[in-house]
Structures are given as C-alpha cells and as structure tokens.
Chain A
C-alpha cells in the first residue's frame, strides 16, 4: 500500500467510526436537550437549542405523569428479582458444577435448554396460567403483582445465570473444599463461607447483566401489570402516547431521560466490566 492510498484508507476508517458514533450520540443527547425545552419550542426546527431551561418538565413527568411511582415500582421489581435470582441460582450452580451425583448431566442439559426459550414466546401462556391461578383461588392476586413479576424475571434468568456461574465455580480449585471438610465444615457452611466469597467477581457480573435486563424489561411487565401499577419502560410508552396526544412534548422527553439515566450512569461506571464479562458469558440473546 503506498502512502496516498494509506491515507485515504485511514480517512475512510475514521469517517465510518465517526458516522456511527454521531448516529448514537446525537439522538441520545438530543433527548436530553429536548427534555429541557418549553412546549412552544417544539413547533419550529427540532435542531435549535432550548431558549430557557425548563426543569419543570421533570417535575411534571415525575409527579403529574406518575413516572415517580413507576420508578419505585421498577426499583422494587428489579431488586426483588435480583434477590430471588441470587438466592436460587447460586446454590443450584454450585451443586451442578461441584458435586457428583446421579442425573447431574441430565439436569444441566435440561436447564441449558432454557437458553433458547425467549420471554416473548412464552408471555401469553404465562399470562393465561396466572389467570387460571386467579380463578382457582377466586381472587385476582397473581396478576398486577410486582412480586409475581419479579419471580418470573428471576425464573427466566436462571438458565443464563446458572450457566455463567457454573463456569466460574468449575474454575476454582477442589483443595478449598477439601480443607474446609477437614476443618469440619458442613456442605452449607462450605458453600456460603468459602465458595460464594470466591465467586464474588462472577456474582457481580451477574447482578450487572440482570439489573439491566430487569430494569429494561418491557413486554412481560406490559402484559402482567394491567392496571395503573406499571414499571418504568411500560410507563414511558403510555406517557409517550398520552403526552403526544396532548402535545406535551417537554415532559415526554423528561420521562424518557428518567428511564434512560440510571442505566447510562451504571454503564459509565462499570462499562469495562460489562463488556469484558460478555466474552466469558457468551450471548444471552
């Protein structure tokens, strides 16, 4: 390659990189900008900067449009889901990866098949199942229930989580368990006091990935929470629809920022960890 084409090639590469970067940065920062505009400013050119900064858009979105309530619903569902997932998955992954027993291979495969089942396929059958449970009990307690939603989030995350954790547990040396056994520790104590602390990096990765998945989940929350109790992503969509109809654009974009900001902040803090962990965990679809 001579110097001339070399320079052209470099220029081409930078052009491609910059175009893609702009296509991501511009719309995202435009949303932030639009969230501070007064309503009248949406009439003209969308590319103009806000004349005055309307923080009141946020107040309207948070209080009047219910985004504050949705925010707390999301916090409850996400944290409950994470707790259930960890309590259930860590012992399961530990036993499947570290202990010898009959049927272990079959159980591992059975769980792994769940990696191919997507939440979107099974959302309708789950909804119908919960309705049937409601009918059996005679009270509508299984739908519109944040705890049930959190449990389902946890359940659908089990295959990926156990798969990732098992890989990590398998890489820890057997001698730690043997030493604990000689010291007289029981199975439970060995798991909780010795193995779990050692698996901490992998557990943090799991929390990060599933936080994003639970916080962002849309279709399950839309289907299973049918009354006013909504999570943020679902609340956002109804906010978009109602505010657009009422031509209330400022609060609409403020609502969008309220959903987006926590994930962006988390990502900026841990982005290395998140992208590096992807190679270990493989794809989660």
Chain B
C-alpha cells in the first residue's frame, strides 16, 4: 500500500520536469543532428535528404571559415585575457588590504547582471564614430587633428571591438568565482611562506594559483560555452556579422543561414560542427589543465 503510494508520488513529482526538459531541450538538441542531413527551406514541407552534403559545402564556404577563425580568436584571446585579469583582480582583492574592497567587488560584477542587448547598446554608444564616447574622448585631447575611428565599421577592427565587450562583460563574474576559492586558502600557509621570505609574487605562483587551480579548470570549460553564446548575441545585435561578413562567429552565421537565407538544414549542419567543436575543446582543456589536486 505504502510502496504503491510512494511510486505514484515519485512519478507525479518527476514527470512534469522531465517532460518539459525532454521536449524543449533534449529533443531540439537531437533534432539539430537529424536536420543537418536535410536540405530544407524550413517553412515549406519539402525536405530532401542529402546526407553529409551540407557538411561538404560547409568546409568550402569562405564565410564559414571566416566565422570559424573569428570564433577561435574570440575563444582563445578573450579567454586568456579575461581569466588572467579575473585571477589578478581576485588575488588582489583577497590578499591585499585594499580600501573600498567591497565597492570594487560590487561594481565589477555589474556587467554580468545586464542583458546582452543592454551591453550591446552601451558598446554601440561607446563605439559610435560621430557621437561615441571613445572618439569623443580622443577628440578632447586632439581637437583639430583627430579622425574618427570606425570601431565596428572597419573590417580589421570589428573583431577586436567585440572582444573588448566580451572581456568587459565577463571579468567580474569570474573574479567573484576565484575570490571565493582563494578566500578558502588558510592564512597560515601564507604566514609560513612569508617567514621563509617568499614575496607576494612567489606566494601567488606557489600558493594562490595551485590551490585555486580546480576552480580555474572548471570555469575554463564553462567559459568556452558561454563565450560562444554571448559573442553570438553581441554580433547579432551590434554588427549582424558585418561589415561584409567580417565579424560573423559560429552561431551568428548559423542564425543568418537559417533565417535570412532560409537554409535551415545547412544552418543546423553548422550547429552540429559548433556542438562537436565546443565539446572537443572542453575535453581538450580538461586534459591539458589536469594536475593532481593539492590538499591543504
């Protein structure tokens, strides 16, 4: 009697969550893989099976290769810069006696609570050639000779402009993560090494970094996924991949192919490549950063 009631209770509790999860997350994920094998306009019913043909076209597509390069650049450079800065600021705010520590912590976290569309709008205001904050600032120093920089209108500059926004957005979040793991390192280790004559830099290399390495590892793998996601949304709002396709990243190109070009099958083939790529990269990062966990 009781076991029957227990079973009914368990099923009633689990069913809604698992149905929603399966319908809106698992099924769509699987269907990316299935639909990538079709040539399909999306809205019409005529769908033709083309096997791996979409993938063959993909690797000859110059625009895709450009978006691939951009994505890799953003993942590698932005990750390195963001992580380095986040670790630096976290170490400073946990280890040093800094006045206004709380103030800095609160301010640095603000970009993380803003919507991507707000961040994109703020950076559009910063980058605008005529009325933008940055050009306005430079003009203050050189009122007569300054020529406006096209931060998002220049094919060579646009990726760096996006990179800057990504770094700005992410530093605070990861800093807070690292601060929490660094705060757990017992103080007596630092005291002992201080007596042994280790300076701040030595302490950072020999104590702080190795003892928070586990957190760094986990955040690295997650950062790849969130970087792909946020860079897509920023590009989608700020440049739509322009000028002339120079700022497309993986997912913005996928979105573009699906909606503007109405080739859903092709777009989703791109999605499959991104999916496999990001998982491969996460696995690689995991492997490369593997160290024995240090106990304290």
Which chain A residues have a beta carbon within 8 Å of chain B's beta carbons?
1, 9-10, 13-14, 16-17, 20-21, 23-28, 30-31, 34, 42-43, 45-47, 87-89, 91-92, 94-96, 99, 101, 107, 110-111, 114, 116-126, 128-129, 131, 151-152, 154-156, 158-159, 162, 186-188, 191, 212, 215-219, 232-234, 236-237, 240, 249, 253, 256, 259-260, 263-264, 267, 271, 274-276, 278-279, 282-283, 285
Contact = CB atoms under 8 A, between A and B. Distances in A.
Nearest to B282: A116
Contacts of A278: 173, 176-177, 180
B114 A216 contact: yes
A236 B25 contact: no
Nearest to B134: A46
B122 A16 contact: no
27 contacts: A9-B200, A13-B92, A17-B89, A20-B85, A24-B168, A31-B125, A92-B16, A95-B14, A99-B6, A110-B18, A111-B21, A114-B25, A114-B26, A116-B225, A117-B25, A117-B29, A122-B32, A125-B31, A129-B28, A155-B20, A155-B23, A158-B17, A249-B131, A259-B115, A263-B114, A275-B105, A278-B176
Contacts of A17: 89, 92, 98, 104
Contacts of A129: 27-28, 31
Given A95-B9, A120-B251, A121-B32, 5 more contacts: A21-B107, A117-B29, A124-B271, A158-B17, A218-B117
B153 interface: no
Nearest to A253: B125
Nearest to A280: B180
A16 B9 contact: no
Contacts of A191: 13
Interface stretch (B50-58, B68-76, B229-237): B229-237
B225 to A, nearest CB: 5
A208 B121 CA distance: 24
B202 to A, nearest CB: 11
Sorted nearest first, the 8 A-B pairs with minimum C-beta distance are A216-B115, A91-B13, A92-B17, A125-B28, A155-B24, A122-B28, A46-B136, A233-B117
B14 A233 contact: no
B113 A34 contact: no
B209 interface: no
A48 to B, nearest CB: 9
A10 to B, nearest CB: 8
Contact of A47 (B89, B140, B228): B140
B218 interface: yes
Interface residue SS majority, chain B: helix
A210 to B, nearest CB: 13
B225 A212 contact: no
Contacts of B12: 91
A97 to B, nearest CB: 11
Contacts, number: 245
B137 to A, nearest CB: 7
A274 B26 CA distance: 29
A53 to B, nearest CB: 19
A212 B171 contact: no
Contacts of A267: 109-110, 113
Interface in B120-135: 120-122, 124-126, 131-133
Interface residue SS majority, chain A: helix
A155 B20 CA distance: 5
Nearest to A135: B45
Contacts of A285: 222, 225-226, 229
Given A128-B42, A154-B20, A1 B199 contact: yes
B177 A283 contact: yes
Interface string B250-266: 01001100100000100
Given A107-B18, A111-B21, A23 B168 contact: yes
A24 B108 contact: yes
A155 B25 contact: yes
B188 to A, nearest CB: 21
Contact of A24 (B32, B110, B264): B110
B121 A124 contact: no
B5 interface: yes
Given A111-B21, A124-B268, A260-B118, A118 B228 contact: yes
Contacts of A152: 24
Contacts of A216: 113-118
B113 to A, nearest CB: 5
Contact of B116 (A92, A233, A263): A233
A147 B45 CA distance: 27
B156 interface: no
A158 B172 CA distance: 25
A89 B15 CA distance: 10
A28 B21 contact: no
Nearest to B272: A121
Contacts of B241: none
B255 A124 contact: yes
A43 B128 CA distance: 13
A33 B218 CA distance: 39
Contacts of A42: 131
